[in-house]
Structure 1
Amino acid sequence: MARKLDNKIALVTGATSGIGLATAQRFAAEGAHVYLTGRRQAELDAAVKSIREAGGQATGVRVDSTKLNELDALYAQIK
């Protein structure tokens, strides 16, 4: 059965907890490969692990969204 986001890419910033994490988990459950960003590596790793353990696809990228050079690098990685 096709899911709504099969073969799509989603980027969720601030995805290590709360609404961001819940959004990332939902997108992954709907079939998206989710790129999660956050500033704390340990929390980012835990979030990615939770999505993968549920059968989703996730990539964690440590990014400070206030720094343009880090956002440029993130864009290049996803592209």
Structure 2
Amino acid sequence: MNPDRFALVTGGGRGIGRAVALALAGAGWHVAIAGRNAAPLAAVAQEIEGLGRRALAQVCDVADPQSVD
């Protein structure tokens, strides 16, 4: 497995985004997650790190252009 595989998942704090982020981490990917609420993002980031992968959580609303600049 290539250790330099990174994925970005929007809506990664809950629901389908969380499931995708954890599945990617389980498959060996490092994962950056973005979402509107810090607490769920932090919890998912800890889960990803618990799987031995690097995680980056960023509060961001992708529907707001200023938020993603």
Query: TM-score when scaled to structure 2?
Result: 0.86
Structure 2: runs of 5+ lacking an equivalent:
none
Query: What is the match of residue 18 of structure 1?
Result: 15
Letter in 2 for 1:44: L
- 2:61 counterpart of 1:67: no
- How many angstroms does 1:40 deviate by? 0.7
Does the Cα contact within 8 Å between 1:38 and 1:61 map onto a contact in 2?
A: yes
- How many angstroms does 1:61 deviate by? 0.3
Which protein is bigger by CA-based radius of gyration?
1
- 2:20 counterpart of 1:51: no
Query: What is the match of residue 35 of structure 2?
Result: 38
Query: TM-score when scaled to structure 1?
Result: 0.77
Q: Distance between the aligned counterparts of 1:6 and 1:71, measured in 2?
A: 27
Identity score, percent: 35
Q: Distance between the aligned counterparts of 1:9 and 1:69, measured in 2?
A: 24
Paired residues in the alignment total 69
Structure 1: runs of 5+ lacking an equivalent:
73-79
Q: Distance between the aligned counterparts of 2:51 and 2:4, measured in 1?
A: 17
Does the Cα contact within 8 Å between 2:31 and 2:55 map onto a contact in 1?
A: yes
